[in-house]
Structure 1
């Protein structure tokens, strides 16, 4: 069982910034508000417009919901910690945050994997796309994505909660599963085995459909017409950008947690640890909102309608 005396964790990665804390608080709050507004706006646009009730946009809606989920697991906590002089977190909340942030990462990567397969069907089988990827299939896939990620990390969490911990200092800005497990002084053999199994489930399983899909898409591009190549590029650019950005962010986070980074300036360590939790929720609404003409045009109509309604009410 978890040590009865261990009721909280200390977050050791915070540095004293004096009055600059208020500046960091304002910047962080503005980022969170921007993430909430942009992602919520696009979710509403997709839900309210019947022409966007297609598999591709349903997957995007799931992606935007996940950005809100992951951001809410981090930003309110981060805002409290920025203003606090004592950087501690209760053990139950710490494990809850671990579950939220890790399941967010799993949902993100798995959702992007399913979206790559969806793009493969749209580009390689355009005439059969509507029969191969129906709305009902898309809804089932979205449910599987979320259930798969939640169950996987519920098992991870249950294994970690029952560890006997001999310390309570985590060298991170937020609760981190790997760093909590490093505090254990009990047998962690089962945790390590499932940890390796979890890495396979989290990375390798989504990676296979991504590689398969893009190999097939590239094959079609090289053998197809110029129009086919242009369609593939315009369709896949937002997805590839999002996928590469999230992958790089995860690599940064792994480097930060697994290796000794004391020689790296604290500013860069903070960027490494927060990159995929901040940049990804900001990038996705911009990439998909600007690059996909159907969403872009719908957003323009909604904004114009809102501005017209506001002017009519003020008259």
Structure 2
């Protein structure tokens, strides 16, 4: 869900900068509700199969996960059964969601950058870059530890100490809680 929210924020920045005069007519409440609902439903529909493919696994060993929160692969790795379906579905879901979202974010910011560079006013590009700076930082701070955690869970569980994974997972959650504060500080009205 958080990846979808970051993508929607990039599309919001795109409309705000590239179509600033039409922003209030393009992003009306029904449109915002529909894209928000679509993002929510996408997350739910891709997460529901995790419940069933994890529930089918036999669990005979320890029930303690070595993590600060309960993620799918940590629970699946507790099983003494074959977790190949869990790994494959996890990879497919991650690439469907994150790759699509990163592609939308990249396209959005490429178009924004092109539009900002072509502006003739001297202070307008600075205002546009200032608007996007907090968001770009949120993207970097959110996706970097997320990729580390994802690849650690799937490919490097024996080469990276568990403490590094736990630290990266906690850092991954931090930007999600800091986004409202960062945007609040960047907004002069607040």
TM-score range, shorter chain: 0.7 to 0.9
> TM-score with structure 1 length normalisation?
0.53
Supply the distance in 1 between the matched residues of 2:60 and 2:96 (Cα, whole angstroms).
Answer: 29
Please identify the structure whose Cα radius of gyration is greater: 1
Contact residue 142 and residue 176 of structure 2 kept, 8 A: no
- Aligned pair 1:157/2:51, yes or no? yes
| Paired residue total | 185
Please, what is the CA RMSD of the aligned residues?
2.2
Q: CA deviation at 1:160?
A: 0.8
Contact residue 11 and residue 105 of structure 2 kept, 8 A: yes
Q: 4+ residue stretches of structure 1 with deviation over 6 A?
A: none
Q: 1:256 to 1:186 in 2, by over 3 A?
A: closer
The aligned counterpart of 1:273 is: 169
Supply the distance in 1 between the matched residues of 2:182 and 2:58 (Cα, whole angstroms).
Answer: 44
Contact residue 256 and residue 272 of structure 1 kept, 8 A: no
> The residue matched to 2:20 in structure 1 has which SS?
coil
The aligned counterpart of 2:133 is: 237
Q: What is the aligned counterpart of 1:261 among 135, 139, 160?
A: 160
Matches within 5 A, 1:7-46: none
Supply the distance in 1 between the matched residues of 2:151 and 2:98 (Cα, whole angstroms).
Answer: 16
Contact residue 160 and residue 181 of structure 1 kept, 8 A: yes
Q: Deviations over 1:70-108 (max 9, x none)?
A: xxxxxxxxxxxxxxxxxxxxxxxxxxxxxxxxxxxxx11
Where structure 1 has 5 or more consecutive residues not aligned to the other structure, the ranges are: 1-106, 297-315
The aligned counterpart of 1:109 is: 3
Supply the distance in 1 between the matched residues of 2:59 and 2:110 (Cα, whole angstroms).
Answer: 46
The aligned counterpart of 2:37 is: 143
Matches within 5 A, 1:1-315: 107-168=1-62, 169-225=64-120, 226-254=122-150, 257=153, 258-259=156-157, 260-262=159-161, 266=163, 268-277=164-173, 279-294=174-189, 296=190
Q: 1:157 to 1:113 in 2, by over 3 A?
A: same
Q: Deviations over 1:241-277 (max 9, x none)?
A: 2111111231343365443323x8x4x5542231122
> TM-score with structure 2 length normalisation?
0.84
The aligned counterpart of 1:57 is: none
Contact residue 7 and residue 105 of structure 2 kept, 8 A: yes
The aligned counterpart of 1:16 is: none
Supply the distance in 2 between the matched residues of 1:247 and 1:184 (Cα, whole angstroms).
Answer: 28
